[in-house]
């Protein structure tokens, strides 16, 4: 979706790893297995989440190499790992902060696709200022009782478990009284209400917690230490956005008990169309990104390539893709040498926002008036395709309508700039006393 994609095509990864993976796939991939059976094999082999440490069902690979592994699985024609927030966020968080018992309970079910996860962080009054959250968890024997409201919960309607952060000690300063829980979504105290977006989809939800219960054993990283644990989750979110995410190369099957895919035939989720799409995406990423490639083809096809301003913007889009690629290479080289490039994840995310906006504006200019038509449901699509004669229109309008989301989630553009200003450039923070004053005494929004 974005041109700030991993530069893995250009990166020489450890060929031995790829050889080992290919031979493992040759021996183990069987399209007639059920999705659950295949994910059990893939997840327990360490190839499903190779960026996780070995004691957490991974292989300890760098993120770029892990994305390469996922692409290899897709190229081989096998079903990829169970994509979603479990693999992307919950697993690395629990691998970092959980006990071995918690890793064996939660991470195992994530890498084998048995359970799907969502992230119960944002609240109506706590998004950018996440540490201002007010959902309360109160101890009751060996359980906690949770009350509050969350919002923007992606995949909340298909989740079995959630990463919940809740206030457990309001008498402490705001960053200190928060705890990170793994909470079971299948309980009477949790109500999930889908929110429909302008894309036509309902990706995210409002979630109401009314006397929801969670055992003390489900606390990850210790009570009142949730801010540190949440920062690991958020760091993985930003890193995932900057490098193409943890789900690259995955097939179309969804994890968890609600999607209903686990008992289906694994091979049915690896269609020739899906393979072709992935091949196109890879080809596009090599020349500045899949969206640039798509838009260049469209502009050539309908003659708008003759417009010099369109050509100029296509080159800008290609350039942004190349910059992302080289920045990824720079970061990889720095890490190999034991250094870091401070702020790179934030800058990559900002560049991704720019790329999305340019893709939106340029795409709509190229398709012209037909850009006002969008298939909000799958059954509207054939009529629009037939009327416009352009089977790629849905990709352009879909990208245009979705372009508003990525610059917001994982920290808005303004928040990324604040982080770069304060933590990378050393500029002074806004003065406030929220590090010292008890949360319960801080002034709240009316």
Ligand X SMILES: Cc1cc2nc3c(=O)[nH]c(=O)nc-3n(C[C@H](O)[C@H](O)[C@H](O)COP(=O)(O)OP(=O)(O)OC[C@H]3O[C@@H](n4cnc5c(N)ncnc54)[C@H](O)[C@@H]3O)c2cc1C
Find, among 89, 355, 446, the residue nearest to 247 by Cα: 89
Contact present, 306 and 200 (Cβ < 8 Å): no
Of 50 and 127, the one with the shorter C-beta distance to ligand X is 127
**Least distance CB 164 / ligand X (angstroms):** 10
**199 in contact with ligand X (CB under 6 A):** no
Write the burial class of residue 443 (CB in 10 Å: 0-12 exposed, 13-18 middle, 19+ buried).
exposed
Contact present, 250 and 80 (Cβ < 8 Å): yes
Residue with tokens 């003759």: 306
**Least distance CB 60 / ligand X (angstroms):** 27
- The count of chain residues that interact with ligand X, using the rule CB under 6 A, is 17
**192 in contact with ligand X (CB under 6 A):** no
**Least distance CB 165 / ligand X (angstroms):** 9
Of 13 and 179, the one with the shorter C-beta distance to ligand X is 179
Of 392 and 409, the one with the shorter C-beta distance to ligand X is 409
**Least distance CB 198 / ligand X (angstroms):** 11
**Least distance CB 207 / ligand X (angstroms):** 9
**Least distance CB 428 / ligand X (angstroms):** 14
**Least distance CB 205 / ligand X (angstroms):** 9
**418 in contact with ligand X (CB under 6 A):** yes
Site string for ligand X, 368-407 (x = CB under 6 A): -------------------------------------x--
Please report which residue ranges of 29-159 form alpha helices under DSSP H. 35-45, 63-76, 85, 91-97, 100-102, 108-111
Q: Which residue number is nearest to ligand X in terms of Cβ?
A: 127
**Least distance CB 121 / ligand X (angstroms):** 3
**Least distance CB 155 / ligand X (angstroms):** 7
Of 36 and 166, the one with the shorter C-beta distance to ligand X is 166
Give the sign of the dihedral formed by CA 171, CA 172, CA 178, CA 184: negative
Q: Rounded to an integer, what distance in angstroms lies between the CA atom of residue 3 and that of residue 99?
A: 37
Selected binder of ligand X within 29, 117, 144, 204 (CB under 6 A): 204
φ, ψ for residue 118, nearest 5 deg:
-135, 175
Find, among 47, 67, 70, 68, the residue nearest to 57 by Cα: 47
Contact present, 178 and 126 (Cβ < 8 Å): no
- Binding to ligand X, residues 106-165 (CB under 6 A): 118-119, 121-122, 127-128, 152-154
Contact present, 329 and 7 (Cβ < 8 Å): yes
Find, among 176, 157, 173, 155, the residue nearest to 165 by Cα: 176
Strand ranges (E), 189-283: 190-195, 204-215
Selected binder of ligand X within 309, 312, 414, 440 (CB under 6 A): 414
What is the distance between the terminal CA atoms of the chain, rounded to a whole angstrom? Answer: 39
Of 234 and 375, the one with the shorter C-beta distance to ligand X is 234
Of 225 and 418, the one with the shorter C-beta distance to ligand X is 418
Query: What is the chain's length?
Result: 446
Of 322 and 434, the one with the shorter C-beta distance to ligand X is 434
Residues contributing to the site for ligand X (CB under 6 A): 118-119, 121-122, 127-128, 152-154, 204, 405, 408-409, 412, 414-415, 418
């Amino acid at each position: 979706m974005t041109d700030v994609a991993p530069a893995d095509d250009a990166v020489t990864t450890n060929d031995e790893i790829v050889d080992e993976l290919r031979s493992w796939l040759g021996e183990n991939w069987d399209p007639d297995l059920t999705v659950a059976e295949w994910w059990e094999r893939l997840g327990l082999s360490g190839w499903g989440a190779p960026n996780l440490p070995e004691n957490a069902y991974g292989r300890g690979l760098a993120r770029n190499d892990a994305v390469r592994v996922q692409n290899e699985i897709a190229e081989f024609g096998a079903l990829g790992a169970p994509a979603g927030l479990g693999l992307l966020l919950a697993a690395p968080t629990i691998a970092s902060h959980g006990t071995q018992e918690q890793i064996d309970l939660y991470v195992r079910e994530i890498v084998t696709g048995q359970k799907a996860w969502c992230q119960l962080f944002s609240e109506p009054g706590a998004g950018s200022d996440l540490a201002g959250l007010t959902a309360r968890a109160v101890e009751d024997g060996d359980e906690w009782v949770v009350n509050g409201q969350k919002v923007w919960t992606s995949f909340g309607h298909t989740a079995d478990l959630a990463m919940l952060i809740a206030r457990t000690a309001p008498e402490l300063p705001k960053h200190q009284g928060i705890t990170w829980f793994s909470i079971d979504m299948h309980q009477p105290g949790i109500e999930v209400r889908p929110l429909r977006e302008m894309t036509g989809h309902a990706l995210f939800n409002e979630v109401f917690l009314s006397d929801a219960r969670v055992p003390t054993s489900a606390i990850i990283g210790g009570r009142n230490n949730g801010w540190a644990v949440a920062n690991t989750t958020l760091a993985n979110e930003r890193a995932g956005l900057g490098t193409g995410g943890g789900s690259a190369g995955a097939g179309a099957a969804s994890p968890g008990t609600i999607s209903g895919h686990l008992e289906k035939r694994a091979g049915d989720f690896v269609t020739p169309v899906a393979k072709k799409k992935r091949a196109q995406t890879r080809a596009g990423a090599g020349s500045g990104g899949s969206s640039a490639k798509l838009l260049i083809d469209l502009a050539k096809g309908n003659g708008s390539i003759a417009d010099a301003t369109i050509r100029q913007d296509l080159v800008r889009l290609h350039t942004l893709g190349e910059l992302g690629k080289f920045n990824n290479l720079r970061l990889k080289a720095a890490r190999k040498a034991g250094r870091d490039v401070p702020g790179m994840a934030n800058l990559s995310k900002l560049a991704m926002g720019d790329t999305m906006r340019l893709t939106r504006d340029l795409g709509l200019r190229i398709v012209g008036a037909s850009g006002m038509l969008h298939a909000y449901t799958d059954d509207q699509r054939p009529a629009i395709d037939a009327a416009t004669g352009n089977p790629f229109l849905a990709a352009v309008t879909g990208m245009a309508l979705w372009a508003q989301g990525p610059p917001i989630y994982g920290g808005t553009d303004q928040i990324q700039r604040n982080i770069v200003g304060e933590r990378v450039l050393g500029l002074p923070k806004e003065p406030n006393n929220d590090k010292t004053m008890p949360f319960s005494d801080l002034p709240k929004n009316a």
